Amino acid sequence: MRIAVLSRNKTLYSTRRIVQSAIKRGHQVLVIDPLKCNLVMEKNHPQVYYGDHRLDNIDAIIPRIGTSITFYGSAVIRQFEMMNVFSTVDSNALLRSRDKLRSIQLLSREGIGFPKTVFTNYSQRIDDIIEGVGGTPLIIKSLEGTQGLGVMLLESKKAAVSVIQAFNSIKARTMVQEFIKEAKGADIRAFIVDGKIVGAMKRQGLPGDFRSNLHRGGTAELIKLNRRESSSALKAAKTMGLDVCGVDLLQSKRGPLVLEVNSSPGLEGIETATQEDIAGAIIKFVEKNAASKPKRKKRSKG
């Protein structure tokens, strides 16, 4: 099987592990920078070129699309989908998961727990916004932030009013969210492949930091999820339409609360904490689905 990993950097841990696992299982693997792909479209004949080379006979793609290239990355995935190439991440699901507001709305519709959230069109009724999430302390999240960036904890009402006013003045889109004090700067990452939780870890932020991101110096350890946590994670992944994803949860007094569904979760932290072969699980998922996907017929040159 010929598998293309869509990644901008072949030296990244996640990319290397996926390539290693695919080769170990006897597959041919290409690492393709999605930003260097050219998409050629004509009637009934979509094509992808990488430089001057047309990408033919690709059986499956494994997208590793960073937030900063979501628009073009999703277009590349969509082009492969039009060519009947199996993708571990659906292009529409990628876009859905990257839209923080839409994600929250979908979780709400499906009855999945998450921190109380307020989004407005730069409303000047800031007192109402603050009360809407239960008062301070509260969290403000930029709709563009990732890996803990653009997320702030505001302890006092005075600070909250000042920051919300500042964001409104520059027309920056933000969400105001309830602060879950009992989580104590920790969260859970459940890694899901093909409707199953293949690994879970608890991440703890640095002392004094409410963010638990490993990129920001947090630590991780193996955790066994309880029934409600497992159910919430699986339901959130299904709601986003993601077969391969990481679901981030907070442990709260009222049960697990979903923070985010990540469509391109890193493998290093979860594999280190769990000692599970997560990359291998992704390749097995590809094998199960790509082999049965009908191939697009080549157009006759005659």
What is the rounded CA–CA span in Å between residue 67 and residue 95?
A: 10
What pLDDT, on the 0 to 100 scale, is given for residue 104? Answer: 96
148: pLDDT strictly greater than 80 = no
Closest CA to 189 of 266, 100, 298: 266
Taking the C-alpha atoms of residue 190 and residue 184, their distance in angstroms, rounded to an integer, is 18
**The pLDDT value given to residue 295:** 58
* Cβ atoms of residues 98 and 104 within 8 Å: no
3-state helix, strand, coil in the chain (%, to 5): 35, 25, 35
CB 235 within 8 A of CB 225: no
DSSP state of 68: G
Domain 2-90 belongs to what topology?
Rossmann fold (3.40.50)
| 96: enclosing H helix or E strand | helix 91-98
Instruction: Please report which confidence band the pLDDT of residue 297 belongs to, taking 50, 70 and 90 as the band edges.
Output: very low
Q: How confident is the model at residue 217 (pLDDT cuts 50, 70, 90)?
A: low
Instruction: Specify the DSSP element, H or E, that contains 130.
Output: helix 126-132
Specify whether domain 99-112+182-284 bears CATH 3.30.470.20. Answer: yes
**Residues 239-273: pLDDT tens digits?**
999 999 999 999 999 999 999 999 999 999 999 99
pLDDT at 169 over 50: yes
| Model pLDDT, residue 72 | 98
Interatomic CA distance for residues 281 and 261, integer angstroms: 19
The sign of the torsion formed by the CA atoms of 236, 238, 242, 244 equals positive
Q: Percent of the chain having pLDDT more than 70?
A: 91
- Other CB atoms within 10 A of residue 125 CB: 10
Task: Report the percentage of the chain scoring pLDDT > 90.
Answer: 85
- The reported pLDDT for the residue numbered 82 is 97
Which pLDDT band holds residue 213 (cuts at 50, 70, 90)?
Answer: low
What are the tens digits of pLDDT across the range 274-296?
Answer: 999 999 999 999 999 997 666 55
**What is the maximal distance between C-alpha atoms in the chain?**
73
- pLDDT of the residue at 291: 75
For residues 199 and 165, the answer to whether their CB atoms sit within 8 Å is no
Q: In the chain, which segments carry CATH 3.30.1490.20?
A: 117-179
Mean pLDDT score across all residues of the chain: 92
Range with the lowest mean pLDDT among 14-18, 50-54, 149-153? 149-153
How far apart, in whole angstroms, are the C-alpha atoms of residue 62 and residue 77? Answer: 9
Alpha carbons within 13 angstroms on the beta-carbon side of residue 216 total: 19
Task: Please check the confidence at residue 212 and state whether its pLDDT lies above 80.
Answer: no
The CATH 3.40.50.20 domain(s) of the chain lie at 2-90
The string of pLDDT tens digits covering residues 22-66 is 999 999 999 999 999 999 999 999 999 998 999 989 999 999 999
Question: Tokens 């609360």 map to which residue?
Answer: 257
Residue intervals in the chain for CATH 3.30.470.20: 99-112+182-284
Specify the pLDDT at position 208. Answer: 60
Contacts of 292 (CB under 8 A, 6+ apart): none
Q: What is the pLDDT of residue 226?
A: 97
Q: Give yes or no for residue 197 having a pLDDT over 60.
A: yes
212 to 74, 148, 188, 208, 291: CA distances (angstroms): 28, 8, 9, 11, 39
The residue among 222, 273, 228 whose CA lies nearest residue 250 is: 228
**Does residue 178 contact residue 115 with C-beta atoms inside 8 Å?**
yes
pLDDT value at position 302? Answer: 34
Q: What is the CA radius of gyration of the chain?
A: 21
Specify the amino acid at residue 98: R
Class of domain 117-179: alpha beta
With a cut of 60, say whether residue 125 has pLDDT above it.
Answer: yes
Tokens of 248: 């981030």
Is the CB of residue 297 less than 8 Å from the CB of residue 46?
A: no
For residues 21 and 277, the answer to whether their CB atoms sit within 8 Å is: yes
